[in-house]
Amino acid sequence: MNDLSEDAVVIYEMLPDSGRIVNQTALNATGWEKDRLKKAKRELRDKGYIEIIASFGGPFGKITRTTPASTSNVNVLAANEEELYIPFKKYIEETFLPDDFLKGKDLFDVIVSGNKRPKDIGKWEIPDAISISLKKFKYLPDYIINTISYEIKPKNTAFELSGIFEAISHSKFGSQTYYCFEQLEDEDFYDNDKYIRIEQEAKVHGIGLMQIWFLDENKTELNGKIILEAKQMKYDPATLSTFIDKFFPEETKNSLIQKTSSW
């Protein structure tokens, strides 16, 4: 760990061998300001020591998962955007589930909406997928709602500039927004001029970037890597409520009403 700063070493050594901690745990233990912790986390992530999950509290932990050797040899690409939807939904359900999620008390759901756009709505108006989390507290009436919207692109359109602008246009639906583009796991694209332009726009507008790739020949599983963390935004409640009404299943809508007593 000689390649790490003192702050990064402090954070890494407080992490459990398995599982994750949230930002507040690290802040309480160190007494640091948020920016100092953020810098140390990014250093650890960029050097491959930790994984940061886009969820409540910014959970992060040591990278303990190992990918089978055969995985890196899977050079399968989506024939179209729709082929990515269901594997992506499964990936988000498994990876972005909050660590402190309490079944029966909290809510976490992922909806694919890109294939459900009404004909009278432009493609820039609706994200391809959206996740919603609701966290309740035992002794308080408060609750936290976190939404993440996702724009998904296969490799053949991954670096078209219109894609990042689609993500920007529907960022109003989410607390965070990610532009998710398909590239083979080991592909080097960081010097690609088109990617660099997308990264520039993402940084200006607070959009996160996520690389995704298939894990199997049958295109049933995929994995992902967050390249740029999305900024926490303030969504418009009226716009989000309308979106939920149009695209979320009745079970999720009824659960939201029950848990928030909002109607």
One digit per residue, pLDDT tens: the chain, 263 residues? 688 999 999 999 999 887 788 888 889 899 999 889 989 998 998 888 998 875 556 778 888 654 444 444 578 999 999 999 999 999 999 888 877 788 888 889 999 988 776 555 556 678 899 998 888 887 887 888 888 999 999 999 999 999 999 999 888 777 899 999 999 988 889 889 999 999 999 999 999 999 999 999 999 999 998 888 898 887 778 877 887 887 788 988 888 888 887 55
| pTM as predicted | 0.73
**CATH number, domain 6-62, options 3.40.50, 1.10.287, 1.10.1760, 1.10.10:** 1.10.10
Cα 227 from Cα 46, distance rounded (Å): 9
Q: Are 140 and 93 in contact (CB under 8 A)?
A: no
Output the pLDDT for position 56. 55
For residue 63, how many C-alpha atoms fall within 13 Å in the half-sphere facing its CB?
A: 13
Output the pLDDT for position 55. 57
210: DSSP letter: E
Output the pLDDT for position 71. 44
Nearest to 58 by CA among 173, 235, 229: 229
152: DSSP letter: E
Cα 76 from Cα 220, distance rounded (Å): 11
Output the pLDDT for position 73. 59
Output the pLDDT for position 119. 59
- Domain-wise residue ranges, the chain: 6-62, 71-260
Cα 86 from Cα 67, distance rounded (Å): 21
Alpha helix (H) residue ranges in 1-116: 6-14, 23-30, 34-46, 82-95
